[in-house]
């Protein structure tokens, strides 16, 4: 059995330090060559954004180049398999979303065992998600959105960055809470989903606040609610979805 390093949604310096401690017990200094972060989603999404922030800082900390490599597909399974197949020497780690924990329930056949082939190093970032719509979507707030979802002749559609993603599960939970049908439209990443939301190809999506802020501020999309229970300083007037649903 091979144990490889894995980040569980937005990890930080501590992840590499834990690997570093293990390597320090060997004769060979660690690290003495470039390190690689495998991101299991395409460039442009929240997971990738965290990796791009971490990489240069970790390069300074360790005096080695830290490469970010995107390996997307199958709700993160393709990139995760790349981590599983890597040499377990601490030089390859994965920046992996929470889909890692639910994929065994969504996929009948997987090329690796999440709980045997991988070891979690640390969890660092908790993200709030924004319920955003196309700028021309008729609802102006969460209450109007709920009313529209319940009265619409056809199901509202929502885009996500893949089957089993937390955006997918959030949409499914919302539909369940409202007692309505909603149409899931999966994409290969958050960035292409955002572009199609702006283009009006579907009605709404859940995206991280950090990723959606530029589009919100630019007037390309509307934000109706937040997923968390605490306010966001950049969106002080936006309520929690829990206050409406």
Please state, in angstroms and as integers, the Cα–Cα distance from residue 205 to each residue in 123, 131, 240, following that order: 25, 6, 15
Q: Are 214 and 132 in contact (CB under 8 A)?
A: no
183 strand-pairing partners: 157
**What is the pTM for the complete model shown?**
0.65
The residues, any chain, with a CB within 8 Å of residue 112's CB and separated by 6 or more, are 80, 81, 84, 118
List the structure tokens of 15.
């992840």
Query: Which stretch of DSSP H or E encloses residue 198?
Result: helix 190-198
If phi over 0 gives left and psi between -120 and 50 gives alpha, with beta otherwise, what is residue 94? beta
Dihedral pair phi/psi, residue 24, rounded to 5°: -65, -20
CB-facing half-sphere around the CA of 3: CA atoms within 13 A: 7
Sheet of 4-8: strands edge to edge? 66-70, 35-39, 92-96, 4-8, 118-120
Mind spelling out the 3-state secondary structure of 82-139?
A: HHHHCCCCCCEEEEECCHHHHHHHHCCCCCCCHHHHEEECCCCCCCCEEEEEECCCCC
Can you give the pLDDT at residue 6?
A: 44
Query: Other C-beta atoms within 10 Å of 228: how many?
Result: 15
Torsion of CA 210, 212, 215, 220, to 10 degrees: -160
Could you please report the per-residue DSSP string of 154-186?
A: S-EEEEESSTTSHHHHHHHHHHHHHT--EEEEE
CB-facing half-sphere around the CA of 103: CA atoms within 13 A: 24
Q: What is the DSSP letter of 7?
A: E
Can you give the pLDDT at residue 124?
A: 65
43, burial (CB in 10 Å: exposed 0-12, middle 13-18, buried 19+): middle
- Chain-centroid distance, C-alpha 62: 26
How would you write the pLDDT of the chain (245 residues) with one tens digit per residue? 344 444 433 333 333 333 333 344 455 688 899 999 998 888 877 788 888 988 999 999 999 999 999 998 877 888 889 988 988 888 998 888 777 777 777 777 888 888 788 877 777 676 788 999 999 999 999 999 999 999 999 999 999 988 878 888 889 999 999 999 999 999 988 889 999 999 999 999 999 888 899 999 999 999 999 987 777 888 888 888 887 77
Domains, in order of start, for the chain? 4-120 (3.40.190.150), 129-243 (3.40.190.10)
- Three-class SS state of 47: helix
The residues, any chain, with a CB within 8 Å of residue 213's CB and separated by 6 or more, are 234, 235
């Amino acid at each position: 059995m091979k144990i490889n390093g894995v980040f569980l949604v937005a990890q930080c310096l501590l992840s590499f330090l834990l690997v570093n401690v293990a390597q320090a017990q060997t004769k060979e200094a660690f690290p003495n060559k470039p390190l690689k972060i495998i991101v299991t989603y395409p460039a442009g999404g929240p997971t990738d954004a965290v990796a791009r922030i971490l990489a240069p800082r970790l390069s300074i900390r360790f005096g080695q180049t830290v490469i970010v490599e995107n390996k997307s597909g199958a709700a993160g399974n393709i990139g995760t398999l790349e981590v599983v197949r890597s040499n377990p020497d601490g030089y390859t780690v994965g920046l992996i979303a929470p889909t890692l924990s639910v994929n065994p329930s969504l996929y009948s056949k997987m090329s690796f065992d999440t709980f045997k082939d991988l070891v979690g190093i640390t969890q660092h970032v908790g993200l709030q998600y924004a319920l955003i719509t196309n700028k021309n979507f008729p609802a102006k707030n969460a209450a109007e959105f709920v009313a529209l979802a319940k009265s619409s002749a056809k199901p509202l559609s929502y885009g996500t960055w893949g089957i089993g993603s937390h955006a997918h599960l959030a949409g499914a939970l919302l539909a369940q809470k409202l007692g309505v049908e909603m149409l899931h439209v999966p994409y290969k990443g958050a960035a292409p989903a955002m572009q199609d939301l702006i283009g009006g190809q579907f009605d709404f999506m859940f995206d991280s606040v950090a990723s959606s802020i530029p589009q919100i501020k630019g007037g390309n999309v509307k934000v109706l609610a937040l997923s968390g229970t605490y306010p966001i300083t950049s969106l002080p007037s936006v309520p929690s979805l829990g206050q409406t649903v």
